[in-house]
Amino acid sequence: MVEQAVLFEVEAGHWAPKGAEYRGAEALRLERKYTPRMREDLRMGHLVSYVGNKGVPLLRLYRYKEAFAFRFVDEWLDRFGVNQDDTVFDPFCGMGTTLLAASCRGVPAIGTDRLPVAVFIARTLPLFFQVRPGELTGIFEHLRRIVPSAEPAPVAADVAIMGVAFPAETLTTLRRWKAAIDGLESPFRDIFLLLFLSVLEPCSYTSKDGQFLRLKRDKRLANPEEALAGKVREAETDIHWIRELGWDDAFLPFRVVLGDTRRLDDVPFERPPTVIITSPPYANRYDYTRTYSLELCFHFVRNFAELRELRHSLLRSHIEARLAPAEEAPHPAVQELVDFLRSRGKVLNNPRIPDMLTAYFVDMQKAIREWGRVLAPSARVAMVVDNVRFEGQMLPVDLILSEMAEEEGFTVEEIVVARYKGNSSQQMGRYGRVPVRESIVVWRK
């Protein structure tokens, strides 16, 4: 039931922004219920974004902009007192930040992700530990010589963005580099493919921008060979750096499974994990198969049909999410917002948002249930989540997921507000700049 608009100000503390408008009685109930367990730690704010990884060897080589910072993971490993007897699991492991941080302390770690490019990056990071200083430079010189005569590698050319993302000559050059890299032996093939994927954006008219891959026709484009040469230099620096940091002494290879965290049956856990440090896709229309479409089209999908199939196999955080007829919002606060949005009909700037929200929480419920099943007793979870706002209505995703976790047998220990973020420019224009919080939910099984 949607109630009259209420202005809700929290008596003590600043975690619910003054002036934030909550229409839902359920959202209000949740805010009241969890107030005693909420606290602000705005120092965490810059650690929940990938920006901190610009100064971290290996992680800086590929810009996975949905990643959180290595130091964020380090801090939670410390807070949870993790040691070599633990097993760390990241069910949405992305480029492997959690896995790398645990492994550098000699702690066993395993991750799953449904996006092949993320799994590829995560699996390739440990390969850098096998490389000797100078080796990559030597191989790069060899590649440079053979690229001009290489037969261009196939790409998923029927995906529309591939027709407009690059000048024709650049696309052919990139395809020649790709073919030359494909001819290398392990581990260099994967290492060079990672470096190659990391230069696609600077060599293209695209920009990974907010939730979208935008076309920027006036962008100054990098030259593929120069961009790759720069990446090889960075990687050489990192190979020295990981030795200086002593990472190579403690490093324990981690495992990464291309899989769906809504169904963990096939994941070969050696022991039940004792810790999860993770961050799911956010319920904000985010479509990873669009943001990473260039990378996917160069190596991981053969055509548009495969790209679309992949899109529909991810957690349903995006606007093309399809809802099965019997599926309903698994939490009353979600239902309340969905009802409100549906009642807005045509006013809504995207009429698919109610289905997306419903599907998102159905999927997250499945995921949390699976974690409850596979985790060791007393296991801890730290998960970064972003709240969202549609048509001026805040949805407390952090609190909804926490209450859903309680229903699956977890205890909610605390909800740490890491930062307040602005909302989309469309929303800001209509409703003013009321920030939404990004939190770390901390649960115990």
Ligand X SMILES: C[S@@+](CC[C@H](N)C(=O)[O-])C[C@H]1O[C@@H](n2cnc3c(N)ncnc32)[C@H](O)[C@@H]1O
Applying CB under 6 A, does 280 fall inside the site for ligand X? yes
Applying CB under 6 A, does 273 fall inside the site for ligand X? no
Sign of CA dihedral 28, 30, 33, 36: negative
Applying CB under 6 A, does 374 fall inside the site for ligand X? no
CB of 97 vs ligand X, minimal distance in Å: 3
Say if CB 153 and CB 180 are below 8 A apart: no
CB of 306 vs ligand X, minimal distance in Å: 16
Applying CB under 6 A, does 76 fall inside the site for ligand X? no
Applying CB under 6 A, does 111 fall inside the site for ligand X? no
Applying CB under 6 A, does 314 fall inside the site for ligand X? yes
Stretch that binds ligand X, among 275-283, 335-343, 375-383, 388-396 (CB under 6 A): 275-283
Applying CB under 6 A, does 439 fall inside the site for ligand X? no
Distance, CA of 285 to CA of 329 (rounded, Å)? 17
Task: Map the footprint of ligand X across residues 232-271, applying CB under 6 A.
Answer: 260-262
Applying CB under 6 A, does 365 fall inside the site for ligand X? no
Distance, CA of 55 to CA of 129 (rounded, Å)? 18
| Closest CB to ligand X among residues 206, 261 | 261
Applying CB under 6 A, does 115 fall inside the site for ligand X? yes
Task: Map the footprint of ligand X across residues 34-73, applying CB under 6 A.
Answer: 64, 66-68
| Closest CB to ligand X among residues 110, 180 | 110
Binds ligand X by CB under 6 A, chosen from 20, 95, 200, 442: 95
Applying CB under 6 A, does 279 fall inside the site for ligand X? yes
Distance, CA of 286 to CA of 114 (rounded, Å)? 14
Applying CB under 6 A, does 288 fall inside the site for ligand X? yes
| Closest CB to ligand X among residues 235, 364 | 364
Of all residues in the shown chain, the one whose CB is closest to ligand X is 94
CB of 261 vs ligand X, minimal distance in Å: 4
| Closest CB to ligand X among residues 234, 363 | 363
CB of 283 vs ligand X, minimal distance in Å: 12
Pairing of strands 109-113, 255-258: parallel
Binds ligand X by CB under 6 A, chosen from 24, 94, 108, 354: 94
| Closest CB to ligand X among residues 67, 362 | 67
CB of 92 vs ligand X, minimal distance in Å: 3
| Closest CB to ligand X among residues 114, 175 | 114
263, 277, 279, 381, 440 from 373: Cα distances, Å: 11, 17, 19, 13, 22
Applying CB under 6 A, does 89 fall inside the site for ligand X? no
Applying CB under 6 A, does 289 fall inside the site for ligand X? no
Applying CB under 6 A, does 315 fall inside the site for ligand X? yes
Q: Which residues have CB under 8 Å from 407's CB, separation 6+? A: none
Applying CB under 6 A, does 203 fall inside the site for ligand X? no
CB of 280 vs ligand X, minimal distance in Å: 6
Three-state helix/strand/coil letters over the chain: CEEEEEECCCCCCCCCCCCCEEEEHHHHHHHHHHHHHEEECHHHHHHCCHHHHHHCCCHHHCCCCCCCCHHHHHHHHHHCCCCCCCCEEECCCCCCHHHHHHHCCCCCEEEEECCHHHHHHHHHHHHHHHCCCCHHHHHHHHHHHHHHHCCCCCCCCCCHHHHHCCCHHHHHHHHHHHHHHHCCCCCHHHHHHHHHHHHHCCCCCEEEECCEEEECCCCCCCCHHHHHHHHHHHHHHHHHHHHHCCHHHHCCCCEEEECCCCCCCCCCCCCCCCEEEECCCCCCCCCHHHHCHHHHHHHHCCCHHHHHHHHCCCCCCCCCCCCCCCCCCCCHHHHHHHHHHHHHHHHCCCCCHHHHHHHHHHHHHHHHHHHHHHCCCCCEEEEEEECEEECCEEECHHHHHHHHHHHCCCEEEEEEEEEEECCCHHHHHHHCCCCEEEEEEEEEC
| Closest CB to ligand X among residues 94, 108 | 94
CB of 12 vs ligand X, minimal distance in Å: 31
| Closest CB to ligand X among residues 52, 396 | 52
Applying CB under 6 A, does 92 fall inside the site for ligand X? yes
Applying CB under 6 A, does 113 fall inside the site for ligand X? yes
CB of 288 vs ligand X, minimal distance in Å: 5
State the Rg of the chain over Cα. 22
CB of 300 vs ligand X, minimal distance in Å: 12
Applying CB under 6 A, does 112 fall inside the site for ligand X? yes
Positions that interact with ligand X (CB under 6 A): 64, 66-68, 92, 94-95, 97, 112-115, 118, 260-262, 279-281, 288, 314-315
